[in-house]
Structure 1
Amino acid sequence: MLAVRALSVVLVLALAACGSPSAGWSAPRPAPSPVGRLDPGFLGPSGTPSPEGTVTPSPGSWDGVHPAPGYRVVLLTAGSDAPTRALVAAVQDWAAAEHVDLRTVTAAGHDDLVPAVTRALGLHGDLIVTAGNDLVDPLAVVTASHLDQPFLVVGAELAEPTANVTAVDWAGASYRGEGLGMSSTYDESSFTPARCSAAVRAGAAAVLTGLTGIVVWLRD
């Protein structure tokens, strides 16, 4: 009888593990539908943007959109500068508030940038969110070969993004890589906790509602 009970406990634990969020990371899956919808002020009168177009949403017009429970996000990060740290904190805070299943991949220096992107891809997340200007050029190399994987680049953008890459920028950010250099308006002090939080939430709302391959430009 004790042996039977012990076996039952083992089976229950095994089944629970199979149903856990972390167990679901073993393979790609259709992303779960979002909860809620965008306010009309997100797109404004122009309607759906063209590929690589830019939208300038009204502040807070993204607040009604949330990821479904168990949404899988990979935070891909490189660098230890203040803007990158602020973006990482914003992603972590958003994930905790929204009950997102978050995993982090950190590049260990310049030679690990492309391998770090590859490791992030291997996790099969519903979304990969990137933080750090050093990742822009490696992303430009890799993302076009993985069109089924959504990316959200926060505080920077790719010069020629494919439909799976969405970016969020504002005056003071907008690094584009590919030898284009830093924007003349780049300002580390613009990466405030409030701005970074808004960028993560606005960008995630765009991806969740299918507005991908665009730039979301935050107003001052």
Structure 2
Amino acid sequence: MRPSLRAAAALAAAAALLTGCSSGDDWSRPHPEPTAIGTLDSGFIDHSSPPAPEATATPRPGSWTGVHPSKGYRVVLLTAGDDRPTKTLVTAVEDWAENEDVDLRTVVADGPADLLPSIVSALEMGPDLIVSAGNDLIDPLSTVTANHLSQQFLVVGAELAEPTHNVTAVDWSGASFRGEGLGTSSAYDADSFTAGRCASAIRAGVAAVLNDWTGIVIWLDEHE
């Protein structure tokens, strides 16, 4: 980890502890623990050989469609970048939230200097889940997520190189950005971020989190 990121992470963690949620924020009130409504199909996870932490699981396409979040699910969409893949992911998350009646709030990182502060802002809101969209967030998330193990994160269209158990990712061929200064993979394909695949990514990822299949990579089949 670069020293600058380590120092910034320490400052971000301190800020989160000092500020907290405002008393005027409705999310500051307790609410029921989120649960999964419906069940995963048998093809989502091979229970005879479940994925180890940081491993990759390839669910059968559509095996997550029967799962929905319980009423009042609180989600923060954390996003950075105005490239087409990121915009497609954002639209998919917004559409999913509207269809599922999710309480969605959005935090947009305004440039490189705002990446870590935007993550802190999302943490301070105390959501059930933070969904990340945008490759620029990957390195800052790698710095912060391990210090907030009680907070669930879902990364769509990318993944962390060494995720902790509270970070789940949904990826596919053409979208496997992992950060750490490695640059964009030669396999990266902006055209792979179709509306249908991004819609599947948020639904499959949330289904995994709600069923406690976290800390792994959900790999969408190439025909999904």
TM-score by length of 1: 0.87
Instruction: Return the letter of the residue paired with 1:198.
Output: S
Q: Answer yes or no: is the 8 Å Cα contact 1:27–1:124 preserved in 2.
A: no
Deviation at 1:27, TM superposition (A): 5.4
Q: What is the rounded CA distance, in whole Å, between the counterparts of 1:43 and 1:131 in structure 2?
A: 24
Aligned residues: percent identity? Answer: 64
Deviation at 1:181, TM superposition (A): 2.0
1:149-205 Cα deviation digits (max 9, x unpaired): 000000000000000000000011010000222121100000000000001100010
Instruction: Return the letter of the residue paired with 1:96.
Output: E
Instruction: Return the letter of the residue paired with 1:78.
Output: A
For structure 1, list consecutive stretches of 5 or more residues without a partner in the other structure: 1-21
Q: Answer yes or no: is the 8 Å Cα contact 1:140–1:158 preserved in 2.
A: yes
What SS does the corresponding residue of 1:40 show, helix, strand or coil? Answer: coil
Give the corresponding residue for 2:169: 167
**Judging changes above 3 Å, is the alpha-carbon distance between structure 1 residues 151 and 27 closer, same or farther for their aligned structure 2 residues?**
farther
1:14-40 Cα deviation digits (max 9, x unpaired): xxxxxxxx9541157663211011111
**Judging changes above 3 Å, is the alpha-carbon distance between structure 1 residues 45 and 209 closer, same or farther for their aligned structure 2 residues?**
closer
Give the corresponding residue for 1:18: none
**Judging changes above 3 Å, is the alpha-carbon distance between structure 1 residues 30 and 140 closer, same or farther for their aligned structure 2 residues?**
farther
Counterparts of 1:62-101 in structure 2, within 5 Å, are 62-101=64-103
Q: Answer yes or no: is the 8 Å Cα contact 1:72–1:125 preserved in 2.
A: yes
What SS does the corresponding residue of 1:198 show, helix, strand or coil? Answer: helix
Give the corresponding residue for 1:198: 200
1:89-141 Cα deviation digits (max 9, x unpaired): 00000000000000000001000000000000000000000000000000000
Q: What is the rounded CA distance, in whole Å, between the counterparts of 1:165 and 1:51 in structure 2?
A: 10
Deviation at 1:60, TM superposition (A): 0.4
Asked if residue 55 in structure 1 is aligned to residue 67 in structure 2, the reply is no
Q: What is the rounded CA distance, in whole Å, between the counterparts of 2:111 and 2:29 in structure 1?
A: 28
What SS does the corresponding residue of 2:168 show, helix, strand or coil? Answer: strand
**Judging changes above 3 Å, is the alpha-carbon distance between structure 1 residues 139 and 28 closer, same or farther for their aligned structure 2 residues?**
farther
Give the corresponding residue for 2:212: 210
Q: What is the rounded CA distance, in whole Å, between the counterparts of 2:182 and 2:46 in structure 1?
A: 30
Q: What is the rounded CA distance, in whole Å, between the counterparts of 2:163 and 2:30 in structure 1?
A: 22
TM-score by length of 2: 0.86
Asked if residue 131 in structure 1 is aligned to residue 124 in structure 2, the reply is no
Aligned length: 199
**Judging changes above 3 Å, is the alpha-carbon distance between structure 1 residues 85 and 32 closer, same or farther for their aligned structure 2 residues?**
same
Larger helix fraction of residues: 1
For structure 2, list consecutive stretches of 5 or more residues without a partner in the other structure: 1-23
What SS does the corresponding residue of 2:36 show, helix, strand or coil? Answer: coil
What SS does the corresponding residue of 1:91 show, helix, strand or coil? Answer: helix
Q: What is the rounded CA distance, in whole Å, between the counterparts of 1:93 and 1:218 in structure 2?
A: 19
What SS does the corresponding residue of 1:89 show, helix, strand or coil? Answer: helix
Counterparts of 1:96-115 in structure 2, within 5 Å, are 96-115=98-117
Give the corresponding residue for 1:32: 34
* Match 2:149 to one of 147, 150, 157: 147
1:45-93 Cα deviation digits (max 9, x unpaired): 6542110011000000001110001100000000000000000000000
What SS does the corresponding residue of 1:44 show, helix, strand or coil? Answer: coil
Q: Which moved more, 1:122-131 or 1:177-186?
A: 177-186
Q: What is the rounded CA distance, in whole Å, between the counterparts of 1:67 and 1:150 in structure 2?
A: 14
